[in-house]
Amino acid sequence: MRLGLLLAVVLCLPVAQAAEDLTLVSWGGAYTKSQILAFVRPYEQRTDTRMEVLDYNGGLTELRNQVRSLNFRWDVVDLEMSDALRACEEGLLEPIHKHALAPAPDGTATREDFLSGSLTPCAVGTVIWSTALAYDPARLKQTPTRLEDFFDLERFPGPRGMRRTPKANLEWALIADGVPNHKVYEVLATEAGLNRAFEVLTRIKPHIVWWDAGLEAPRLLDTRRVVMTTAYTGRIHDSNRVQGTDYQLLWDHQIWNIDLFGVPRGNPRAKQAWEFIRFATATERLAEQARHIPYGPVRRSSLSRLTPNEREHLPTREANFKNAMQIDAGWWAKHYDRIRPRFDDWLAQPVQVPRKLPR
Amino acid sequence: MAATKIIPVLARAIRGSAIYFRLVLLALILPLSAQAATEVDTLRTEVEQLKLRLDSLEGSLEDEVQAKESASESQDRPQTPAITIGGALRYTYAWRNFEPNSDAKLGDVGLDLFRLNVDGQRDNFLVSAEYRFYPYMSTLHHGWFGYETDSGAQWQAGVSQVPFGLLPYASHNFWFGVPFYLGLADDYDSGIKFIDKGEAWDLQLAFYKNGELGNAASSNRYSYDPIIVSADNTAQNEEVNTFNARLAYTFGAGRECNHELGLSAQAGQLYNRQTQRHGSQWASALHLDSRCGRWNIQFEAGRYGYQPRNASGVSDNTVTLGAFAYPYAVASRGSFGVLNFAYNLPVAPDSVDLITCYNDFSVLGKDEASFNDSMVNTLGCAIGDGPLFTYIDLVAGHNMIFLGSGSLAGGGNNQWETRLNINVGYYW
């Protein structure tokens, strides 16, 4: 009888001690799935924490709203580098906790193990991801071999998919117009350079189908709405792996970026959030994520755990990395608020006579 | 002793689980009990139950991950609501040189329309409807429900736009052109339509039971059809059982310059309510719609014919069409032509969204030698900025309906008349 009582007490104990829920907001689709499998689910199992995973399409509007209203629905946010830098400048993120990160298994300090630039004052890098060009070889008469082909409607006729953002698109427009990688931001910083980039985009604008969420890019190819599209490389790999498609990636002038985890400033669950980040950015967890989506882990120790086969589709593979350009997150953090309204105006201004004016 | 043997079994069974911690604690407590040895069987049962519970929890965890993945995938889809509501409020300024009062007052301003739109898609099912309120009538503009196949082909049932000639409009201006007033452009009827549009080919087939209202005695409609005016022997015909086919091919699809070349055909019956006999009606057209950079050139040439079965003594040379609460006669047979030029001006980034200027010309040659030809030319610009859209049109008509005493049948003053039309609308 007494044993039964003890059993009941013991079984009830951990339920009362269950950790608080955490909410991770990320980019959805195959990317979020890789995070769930690599560290969200293991973290739940290890800590009895229940994690909510939400999707968003970037930007700081919602983060600003939550921090300013002290009404926190997000605990850990997956941010693009430029957003992370801007958010940090605006005081929207908690500074990295001194002991937030786990060292490498061989004892290498985190500062040395994380790739240069992947640790910022307010956010911790996780993966190097890349935007490149994807196409369906079955729908093109010849194979595109360089970035310029994306902007060549005569040799490669057909609609193009592009992410609805000036980031990367303006850089590609200038590169396709002959500007070398290292001069892109210097040119883009001038009014003439900005005009030049928009003029290049304007040439193909009537044939652009815009996408917002990452999963839409392979879907545009699935539904034959475009013959080529810019895409997160991991999404194309995932489509080929899961759906059996045969979409090809053109890595020429791929634009890579770093995703980071940050914690909204003032969040009462910040301590738990940093515990999760420490777990999720540990060597084995980041290596595990790369096994589910071919994005490069930002830790050297994680990269060394991947087999050559697992590294083949990473943006950081040597053959894929030729001509690669890192998006200048600092530049975008400084210029985004000026360029975005112009981009939106440009979007609203058709090039061709519209087929259907309001009647 | 028995308890210590059970601990590794428990550990193997539940390693990796949060319950592991609970049972280790339980195992530490067990030796403290003097009755432990005698309750091994009971404990084994408990352990079995715990293992079952663990399996259940693991299963739940799998379900939870699946649910998270599914939620994630579904949220990654474009966030478009199933139904969107839109509409417009428009006002018109018009100055007419052929109306002395309008001329003296330098024109009039008034409500053009208030309209509501509903468009939606759920899975493969579609719906689209628009209802318009004019100061002098209210009517359904279009209203159909549809189905989109996985290959992208579409079926529409209800009141839909008739697939004929230049689509969606045979003009750029607000006032339209000759084909619209003949019921051969932007026409809507009740029936079923099939659309299969590929990269270059565009095939549309349709069968329309009748005009959009199902009541040929009413001219309170948006698009022109043969209508019945009860007290008029010459206006007793209505179009029924009409087949439409339109095939177009775009040369240079996906390139900077592309040219749509198309053929359209329409054939159906013309029922005379007075004689209760079926006549016939047909039309055909060839069109070219070229877009190159900021330029757009539209061309259309066609013929049409009505063979009414009128009462004896009633001329077959005209039929009566009606819309916008106004019936008028048109020649029973004729040829029509359209030639439109438009240019989309480049605009500064922080200015308006769109300025498209155009010159639209259209003509009707009537087979009846005693009828004067009709023509209309509209020079204008359309300016869009956010929800505001404005047309500024200078309309010049020669023997054109609604411009002086012009007529699309016989009669008319056979001279040029002018109307300045400015239409300002807020669209949402």
Closest chain B residue to A33, measured at CA = B69
Check CB contact of B53 with chain A, cutoff 8 Å: no
Q: Give the pLDDT of residue A36.
A: 97
Give the Cα separation of B262 and B302 in Å (integer): 12
Check CB contact of B25 with chain A, cutoff 8 Å: yes
Q: Give the pLDDT of residue B49.
A: 62
Contact B192, B171 (CB under 8 A): no
**Cβ-Cβ contacts under 8 Å for B237 (sequence gap 6 or more):** B226, B228, B270, B271, B272, B273, B279, B306, B308, B310, B319, B320
Strand B225-226 vs strand B188-197: parallel, antiparallel, or unpaired?
Answer: unpaired
Closest chain A residue to B36, measured at CA = A3
CA A211-A213-A218 angle, to 5 degrees, is 70
Task: Please report, rounded to a whole number, the percentage of residues in chain B having pLDDT higher than 70.
Answer: 81
Check CB contact of B100 with chain A, cutoff 8 Å: no
Check CB contact of A95 with chain B, cutoff 8 Å: no
Check CB contact of A17 with chain B, cutoff 8 Å: no
Mean pLDDT of chain B: 87
The residue extents of the domains of chain A are 19-129+258-321, 131-256+329-348
CB contact under 8 A, B76 and A357: no
Of B33, B152, B254, the CB nearest to A153: B254
- Please give the span between the terminal C-alpha atoms of chain A, in angstroms, as a whole number: 83
Q: Give the pLDDT of residue A313.
A: 86
Phi, psi of A15 (to 5 degrees): -60, -40
Q: What would the pLDDT profile of B260-304 be if each residue is shown by its tens digit?
A: 999 999 999 999 999 999 999 999 999 999 999 999 999 999 999
- Tell me the residue ranges of DSSP E strands in B254-332: 257-272, 277-292, 295-307, 318-323, 326-331
Contacts of A351 in chain B (CB under 8 A): 293-294, 344
Give the Cα separation of B221 and B140 in Å (integer): 7
Check CB contact of B150 with chain A, cutoff 8 Å: no
* Residue whose structure tokens are 């009062």: B101
Phi, psi of B102 (to 5 degrees): -65, -40
Q: Give the pLDDT of residue B78.
A: 45
Give the Cα separation of B324 and B44 in Å (integer): 87
In 3D space, the residue among A302, A309, A333 whose CA is nearest the CA of residue A123 turns out to be A333
Q: How confident is the model at residue B343 (pLDDT cuts 50, 70, 90)?
A: very high
Q: What would the pLDDT profile of B146-196 be if each residue is shown by its tens digit?
A: 999 988 899 999 999 999 999 999 999 999 999 999 999 999 999 999 999
Return per-residue pLDDT of chain A as tens, 359 residues: 454 544 444 444 444 344 569 999 999 888 999 999 999 999 999 998 999 999 998 899 999 999 999 999 999 999 999 899 999 999 999 999 766 799 999 999 998 999 888 999 999 999 999 999 999 999 999 999 999 999 999 999 999 999 999 999 999 999 999 999 999 999 999 999 999 999 999 999 999 999 998 889 999 999 889 999 999 998 999 899 889 999 999 999 999 999 999 999 999 999 999 999 999 999 999 999 999 999 999 999 999 999 998 888 899 888 888 899 999 988 998 999 899 999 999 999 999 999 999 99
pLDDT above 90 (res B374) = yes
Q: List residues bridging with B358 in a β-sheet.
A: B342, B380
Q: Give the pLDDT of residue B61.
A: 43
CB contact under 8 A, A351 and B21: no
The mean pLDDT of B75-102, rounded to a whole number, is 83
Fold of A19-129+258-321: D-Maltodextrin-Binding Protein; domain 2 (3.40.190)
**Cβ-Cβ contacts under 8 Å for A118 (sequence gap 6 or more):** A124, A125, A258, A260, A298
> A19-129+258-321 and A131-256+329-348 share one CATH topology?
yes
Nearest-Cα distance to chain B for A358, in Å, is 8
Q: What would the pLDDT profile of B234-244 be if each residue is shown by its tens digit?
A: 999 999 999 99
Best CATH choice for the domain B84-427 from the list 3.40.640.10, 2.120.10.30, 2.40.160.10, 2.130.10.30: 2.40.160.10
Of B26, B43, B358, the CB nearest to A10: B26
Check CB contact of B29 with chain A, cutoff 8 Å: yes
H/E stretch holding B8: helix B2-14
Q: How confident is the model at residue B28 (pLDDT cuts 50, 70, 90)?
A: very low
Check CB contact of A350 with chain B, cutoff 8 Å: yes
Contacts of B17 in chain A (CB under 8 A): 45
The mean pLDDT of B73-82, rounded to a whole number, is 50
Structure tokens at B242: 């009409």
Classify domain A131-256+329-348 at the CATH class level: alpha beta
pLDDT above 80 (res B19) = no
Contact B401, B413 (CB under 8 A): no
* Burial bucket for residue A42 (CB in 10 Å: 0-12, 13-18, 19+): middle
Give the Cα separation of A210 and B16 in Å (integer): 45
CA B87-B91-B92 angle, to 5 degrees, is 135
Of A2, A351, A359, the CB nearest to B294: A351
Give the Cα separation of A158 and A141 in Å (integer): 11
CB contact under 8 A, A357 and B172: yes
Of B33, B73, B389, the CB nearest to A2: B33
Nearest-Cα distance to chain B for A319, in Å, is 31
Q: What would the pLDDT profile of B51-60 be if each residue is shown by its tens digit?
A: 555 455 444 4
Contacts of A44 in chain B (CB under 8 A): 61
Give the Cα separation of A299 and A126 in Å (integer): 8
Give the Cα separation of A241 and A285 in Å (integer): 22
The mean pLDDT of B81-90, rounded to a whole number, is 92
Kindly provide the ipTM of the predicted complex, given to two decimals: 0.78
Of B21, B75, B427, the CB nearest to A55: B75
Q: Give the pLDDT of residue A322.
A: 86
B242: left (phi over 0), alpha (psi -120 to 50) or beta: beta
Contacts of B18 in chain A (CB under 8 A): 14, 45, 48
Give the Cα separation of A157 and A227 in Å (integer): 8
Entry pTM: 0.76
CB contact under 8 A, B168 and A355: yes
Contact A50, A304 (CB under 8 A): no
Give the Cα separation of B322 and A349 in Å (integer): 37
Give the Cα separation of B224 and A246 in Å (integer): 51
Check CB contact of A315 with chain B, cutoff 8 Å: no
Give the Cα separation of A265 and B250 in Å (integer): 55
CB contact under 8 A, A203 and B256: yes
